[in-house]
């Protein structure tokens, strides 16, 4: 595991790309704010205004990882992937709501 923030030689480069990196373009801050608003609003309801941004980052990172694994065929052990996604959402709602 690399904790330095630098990609390993084997890591797909898109994983390490930052929204500030030139290859992602430069969306105006207003557009980014509009895109983030629904998640921030939901997270503020669950975790409170003071923790909304941290909670939104947690939810976004979890969802991005889950979706990325699904698209890459990472869930091949059987079972219902939709059920697993709902399970994760329910646990995250519970955890954020008790913060």
- For the chain, the domains span 49-99
Residue 57 neighbours by CB distance under 10 Å: 14
- Per-residue model confidence (pLDDT) at position 13: 46
Tens-level pLDDT at each residue, the chain (99 residues): 333 344 444 444 444 455 555 555 678 889 988 999 999 999 999 999 999 999 999 999 999 999 999 999 999 999 999 999 999 999 999 999 986
In the chain, alpha helices (H): 13-16, 29-47, 52-71, 81-97
- Per-residue model confidence (pLDDT) at position 99: 60
Residue 97 neighbours by CB distance under 10 Å: 12
């Amino acid at each position: 595991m690399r904790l330095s923030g630098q990609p390993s030689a084997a890591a797909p480069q898109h994983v390490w790309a930052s929204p500030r990196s030139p290859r992602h373009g430069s969306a105006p801050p207003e557009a980014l704010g509009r895109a983030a608003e629904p998640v921030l609003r939901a997270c503020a309801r669950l975790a409170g205004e003071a923790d909304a941004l941290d909670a939104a980052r947690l939810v976004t990172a979890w969802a991005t990882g889950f979706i990325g694994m699904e698209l890459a065929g990472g869930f091949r052990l059987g079972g219902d992937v939709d059920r697993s996604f709902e399970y994760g959402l329910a646990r995250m709602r519970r955890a954020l709501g008790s913060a």
